[in-house]
Chain A
Amino acid sequence: MVLGSLLIGYIIIYMTFAAHSNGEYLHLDNEFVKVDFPRNWFAYSWKTENSTSGSVYGIVFASPQSLSAILFKIHDKQATQYYMKKFNLTDASSIVTFETERMCNWTVTKNENASVILREKGEVEVSGNQASYSKVIIKNGIESNGAYYNMSFLMMSYIKDQRLVQIVIWGKKEDCEKLSDLFEMVLNSTDIKV
């Protein structure tokens, strides 16, 4: 029974892999997003639903060999209204500013030696949509195995059909730069279904 169950489990995993394999990438296509991501990256998705605050779908991809990740958060209309009302935000630009400040404050609270050494803000096209972005580099912003590294935090945000989409790329600055091509590939392959 044990061996039989292990065999069935293995077959299902292999068939899943074969069905979604696209060369060196895996293709994910669900009701929220369509995206290709490197097959050896860790991926995790979740959905929070609440009658008051609406529903939010999130998915994160991270390379196991580096300290960086890319995150997508898709809010439905109710969740978008709730979020913007809660934090008194008006548009995508105010959202990226707010979230970037929140990240900076949280990082500095965790480590008093952390400080912001670069700030950048503007507009960028993401999946055919005009998005606002905000980028910061935080000195000593990320800790790993007792050592501190500079952290890169890039937040992009747009609102389409009253639904908020947030995309974050963050991690150790050197790792983010090394993986920038892969992050760009993931972004370019993404089709967010709003």
Chain B
Amino acid sequence: MDTDSTITTQEIVHVIVGGAICLSTMFTLFGLIGFLLEQILMRFNMLGVVVFESFTIARTIISFASVYLISGFLGGLYTGYFTQRGLKATLPITGIIGFVGFSLLLFFSGGSLDFSENFLERLILPISGSIIGAYLGGYTINWPSEEEETEEEGKIRLELEE
């Protein structure tokens, strides 16, 4: 059995913790961004714009960037730092844990788990944002170690040739 390719229990724990970081950041930023957006609209005397459908689209885009991408990034940073192997598997799981946990939190605070309404806003963009963010975070923290591996491989090849 090739032990290098299997994910250890410790790595699973790190993935879960990364997911929890993603979830808690999502929860904090969701409320904060909503509040900030409302305050900015009030400041510019355009609070009434919230009733239009296009505002919902704008808010979804802003949430994708400022809530889900950032939450996924932070969760991915942790997961990527502690589980340097199998990132292609561990990072999306981090993002998914964050999204699922957040959906459950919203449900228990009076929301609904019916994603058929506002499918894009409630399912597609949040889950893709957290997964993309996790990838960005995980590969950002591992970028220097990948460059070192490439350099070492180059040195070994040169020595063998000599």
A20 to B58, CA, bound (A): 16
Across-interface contacts of B69 in A (CB, < 8 A):
1-2, 5
Within 8 A of B (CB), among A8-36: 8-10, 12-13, 15-17, 20, 26, 28
Main DSSP-derived SS at the B contact region: helix
A9 touches B58 (CB 8 A): yes
Stretch in contact with the other chain, from B15-23, B41-49, B87-95 = B41-49
A45 to B45, CA, bound (A): 19
- Closest residue on chain A to residue B62 by CB atoms: A9
Interface residue A153 (Cβ < 8 Å from any Cβ of B): no
Interface residue B65 (Cβ < 8 Å from any Cβ of A): yes
Q: Report B58-71 CB contacts with A as 1/0, cut-off 8 Å.
A: 11011011100110
Query: Contacting B48 at CB < 8 Å: which of A2, A4, A10, A37?
Result: A37
User: B135: shortest Cβ distance to chain A, in Å?
Assistant: 12
User: B45: shortest Cβ distance to chain A, in Å?
Assistant: 4
Within 8 A of A (CB), among B46-104: 46-52, 54-55, 57-59, 61-62, 64-66, 69-70
Contacts between the two chains (Cβ within 8 Å), count: 80
The interface on chain B, measured as residues whose beta carbon lies within 8 A of the other chain's beta carbons, has a size of 22
Across-interface contacts of B46 in A (CB, < 8 A):
13, 17, 26, 39-40
Across-interface contacts of A45 in B (CB, < 8 A):
51
User: B22: shortest Cβ distance to chain A, in Å?
Assistant: 16
B48 touches A8 (CB 8 A): no
User: B54: shortest Cβ distance to chain A, in Å?
Assistant: 4
Query: Contacting B55 at CB < 8 Å: which of A13, A39, A40?
Result: A13
Interface residue A117 (Cβ < 8 Å from any Cβ of B): no
Interface residue A106 (Cβ < 8 Å from any Cβ of B): no
Query: Contacting A40 at CB < 8 Å: which of B48, B51, B64?
Result: B48
Query: Contacting B49 at CB < 8 Å: which of A1, A8, A17, A64?
Result: A17
Query: Contacting A9 at CB < 8 Å: which of B45, B47, B50, B59?
Result: B59
Query: Contacting A16 at CB < 8 Å: which of B58, B61, B64, B70?
Result: B58
A144 to B54, CA, bound (A): 33
A44 touches B66 (CB 8 A): no
The contact sample of 6 A-B pairs, CB cut-off 8 A, is: A1-B69, A8-B58, A26-B48, A39-B46, A39-B48, A40-B45
